[in-house]
Amino acid sequence: MTEAARHPLIIGSGIAGLYVGLRCRELGLRPTIVTKARLEESNTRYAQGGIAAAVGPGDSPAFHLADTVEAGVGLVDLNAARVLTSEAPARIADLVRYGVPFDTTEGQVALGREAAHGRSRILHAGGDATGLSIEEALRHRVLEAGIEVRERTVLRALRRDGRDGPVATLAGADGGSVEVFSSGPVVLATGGAGSLYRQSSNPAIATGEGVAIAFRAGALVTDMEFVQFHPTVFWREGAPRYLITEALRGEGAVLRNDAGERFMTKVHRDAELAPRDVVARAIDREILRTAHPCVYLDATALPRDRLFARFPSICHFLSAYGLDPSRDPIPVTPAAHYMIGGVTSDLDGRSTLRGLYTCGEVASTGVHGANRLASNSLLEGLVFGERVARQLLHPVPGGPPEPALVVDVKVAPGAGRGEETRLAREIRDLLWNDVGIVRTASGLRSALDEFGRLGRAAEPASPDQYAGPLANAVVTATLIARAALARTESRGCHYRSDYPRSKPSWRRHIGLRCGNAPAA
């Protein structure tokens, strides 16, 4: 191993980035963590539902595997899911070692139930503050370990001509100085793209830039059509779209329309605990049918003390709007939540570019198939983060196989003179209206035409210039729409009203490659 290879550059500071950094340091490497906001600002911080692992009595990794495969609707990579579920208990033990205070009952870890899980296997910390608890524990350990951290620093580009990995171009998040960083391997842990949608549960930093930058460099991306919409996000005009965790439905809360009627019992045998895509589409239909802007999550049958003890963050948030969930139904709508696809990755985090590794939501391992099982996302960052760290210590050549269907998508030069606020709003509206919960060929083609126009306004005029956040947002949005147009069926969280059924011939992945990426 060269000296440069001992200094991996980790982009992102959610659960995946922080965990990879910690494990690299423990294994004797000297990582640098780069994050475009504060160290603690990531999607992980806002994860309420918990983290899944078969650690309770009567449960097993085999049961967890079966639930993961079933939720993925025929598209889960079995090897990836087996790795995820079998290695989960050991990674939970790591979190305990790092100081994550998981909730207990009478000395035993408390395990909750969420949709599409056949067992109670969801661990929580601080009730509905699991992500915050994990982020804070890992952040504290990263700082304690003396790992180099560069806050408010963004990845601007990757080039494939480095000896030990891609050459990364970094810049200050405020538009400050540009720096070329070529220390060795690069780990993308940049998270998802939910905030590109008009309605989203994600923080503003979740813009999918990691996918766009890797794609521009020539990395294959896969499964971009699968964007998961969380069914229950707080709705009120002018209020933030605050996630109302699925665990509340796991405790017994039910969904009602504006007339007070339950409707999920007519949709699925598991009613409110049906898979997320089923619940999100049912809510969307009910909103359209009733012309009412939301539905209501009714937890009023649950004991008040249990609600406030189990969901303190939600109760505190709702109180600011004069709502008490023990007496008031909660207004909710679906919102973009999780990017299932991303940079194509094998089981050790290797992408199709030598020296570029991916981990967490930005990676596409096939573990989620067409619909992520609730609370597998935090787990994914840990399980594959461990494998990335070990691969960095003892690198072995290899990478993911190429899917049977690969579509070339070109990024054309532009003028670089787009008005940023207006164009960003157009991207969000186009994705929500035409590449959202329900899709059609005409809507997807229209969105792609518009993204082409936006790209011409946002892309730099010269390939020597670095693409900015807006240009990368257009690329990521284009990849989602292009894959959605190619998949002429409905499967999991990808739903085409013009192709409403799943087809056996579509039990395959769609890869996307940059048709004009620079050669190595």
Q: In Å, what is the CA distance from 489 to each residue of 8, 77, 250?
A: 41, 19, 30
Other Cβ atoms closer than 10 A to 82: 19
Q: Which of 45, 276, 281, 350 is catalytic?
A: 276
Give the C-alpha separation, 95 to 102, whole Å.
Answer: 9
Question: Are the CB atoms for 393 and 29 separated by under 8 Å?
Answer: yes
276 is catalytic: yes
Question: Are the CB atoms for 520 and 160 separated by under 8 Å?
Answer: yes
404 DSSP 8-state letter? S
Q: Which amino acid is at 333?
A: T
Q: Which amino acid is at 315?
A: C
Pairing assessment for the beta strands 405-409 and 186-188 based on DSSP bridges: unpaired
- Altogether, the residues listed in the chain come to a count of 520
Show the tokens assigned to 402: 């190429």
Place of tokens 């990691």: 210
Closest CA to 207 of 218, 196, 216, 223: 196
Largest CA distance in the chain: 67
Closest CA to 367 of 222, 211, 476: 222
- φ, ψ for residue 53, nearest 5 deg: -165, 145
Cβ contacts of residue 232 below 8 Å, gap of 6+? 243, 244, 245, 246, 248, 249, 255, 279, 283, 297, 330, 332, 334
Show the tokens assigned to 39: 């160290």
Sheet architecture: strand order including 51-52? 51-52, 122-123, 111-112
Q: Which residues are catalytic?
A: 276
